[in-house]
Amino acid sequence: MAYQHSSACAEYFDRDRYTSSQAGERVLNEAIVQAEIIEGFDECLKIFDAFYDDDVEVSSETQAEPIRGKARVRSLLFNFLVPFHVMAEVGGLSISIRATAIPADTSGETHSAWTLDLVAPFGTTCTLSWCALRKWDGSRVVYEHHYDRRMSGGPLTFDDFRLNAPEHAAGFRMPS
């Protein structure tokens, strides 16, 4: 009889852990999707700081070794976000991101599919997509793995942006 009770308690706590990780995933993904990179990258870093554990480990199928520790991952995230912010603010890049939950039945683990659409001012598009597996400890992500990366459309080049627009303006001449 005691075994049935402890088994039921373990099932309850696993279900609660499952529910908690699913709720955390929804809130985190919604925050990421709603963040406006053109406004700056600080909001994205605040989201990272709020949801990720100090000892987080991040890996991907293209990395030889996982990256460990919030400071190291935050630095990589910063280096990833800054060019997007600059290209959006100065170069006119349009950025949209969406996430779709992938059903999973493992307690404390979530999966999501991500799509990042990049549209340059002159119409060139590039779409990046990947999946993310996250492991949660309470309200914090302790592990994240990126897999199934794909790209459609070509890479964006300097000519796709308004960075050299004055050269193309009618009647514009460089001083001699």
Report helix, strand or coil for 51.
helix
With CA atoms as reference, report the closest residue to 92 among 145, 37, 162.
Answer: 162
- Please give the pLDDT value at position 8: 37
pTM, two decimals, is: 0.80
Rounded distance between C-alpha atoms, residue 45 and residue 81, angstroms: 9
- Please give the pLDDT value at position 163: 67
Q: pLDDT averaged over consecutive 10-residue blocks of the chain (176 residues)?
A: 38 55 93 90 93 97 94 95 90 94 90 96 94 96 97 89 56 43
Convert the pLDDT of each residue in 32-63 to its tens digit.
999 988 888 899 999 999 999 999 999 999 99
- Please give the pLDDT value at position 18: 61
> What residue segments make up the domains of the chain, in order of their start?
11-164
What's the CATH code, domain 11-164?
A: 3.10.450.50
CB of 144 closer than 8 Å to CB of 133: yes
